[in-house]
A = this chain, B = another copy of it.
């Protein structure tokens, strides 16, 4: 579905145009066309392929989706695949934004993204002096927007880990903690698959030899690279803390098992002592003087209570109960 199609020149929007007029505006110095598609149909992409002379393989990638994040050059065209990761209730929603950037055009194709990208266009138009840099700057703003949306996700994952940690160290060990740690790990892997390849690919857009289209905006792409570096580092930390949390949790479960065993044993002793004493006075010997005493029974009961009381006190003191 076509969302937007406009012509820009010298950092300012000239006009929204119907897609049929695109070719009138191509090849004019300082002017570029910016087209945005959503969940594009094959025919739409085909049309764009002809309009902008895109490479068949890139178009196929954009059509099929589910590509790994990457930055590829096809002749003068830069093809960038970004993966969006958004919070969706307790889950992570993964979408894709494919960007084709040439000297005189920017074509964005997004799929399964929940948040829109209209803010991107607004931000670009508010900075005409930078938009003058052309399609390269538009690419930067798109990448920056996608990357900035990773931060709340990583914050959420960190918050989840902290919640689980609190439960691990405060409450009893529960199946739920274990399952939550596992689910968190899964989410982390999803985020990592969006970030890690992009981090690597973004390195191609600054320093050393860079594609001509982004030559004037290298410092900006270094900034994006930097953000990706930080996110990557946070992901690595989370992974390491998760692994540690899982093994620490196992230790705590075992400690808890130990404590339970002791508590059970203490109660068992409290029951076994009276049973043993009662057993002894249940013996049928003809001569058992205690049995004849008037206060034999209360005395025995007193003995039982004394023994159990003392044991209870000892167990309490040593922390078994």
Contact = CB atoms under 8 A, between A and B. Distances in A.
Interface stretch (A95-103, A109-117, A131-139, A182-190): A182-190
B256 A258 contact: yes
Contact of A271 (B250, B257, B273, B290): B273
Contacts of A261: 257, 260-261, 264
A193 B237 contact: yes
A307 to B, nearest CB: 11
Contacts of A285: 281, 290-291, 293, 296-297, 300
Nearest to A290: B285
Contact of A181 (B57, B220, B223, B248): B248
A279 B283 CA distance: 7
A226 B248 CA distance: 34
B68 A255 contact: no
A293 B290 CA distance: 16
B255 A182 contact: no
A42 to B, nearest CB: 18
Interface residues of A, number: 85
Interface string A142-184: 0000000000000000000000010001000111001101100
Q: How many monomers of this protein are in the complex?
A: 5
Interface stretch (A12-20, A23-31, A45-53, A239-247): A239-247
14 contacts: A72-B222, A175-B255, A244-B246, A250-B251, A250-B254, A251-B253, A260-B265, A261-B261, A261-B264, A268-B268, A271-B273, A274-B279, A279-B279, A283-B284
Interface of A: 55, 57, 61, 67-68, 70, 72, 74, 165, 169, 173-175, 178-179, 181-182, 185-186, 189, 193, 197, 219-220, 222-223, 226, 229-230, 233, 237, 240-241, 243-258, 260-262, 264-265, 267-269, 271-276, 278-288, 290-297, 300-301, 304
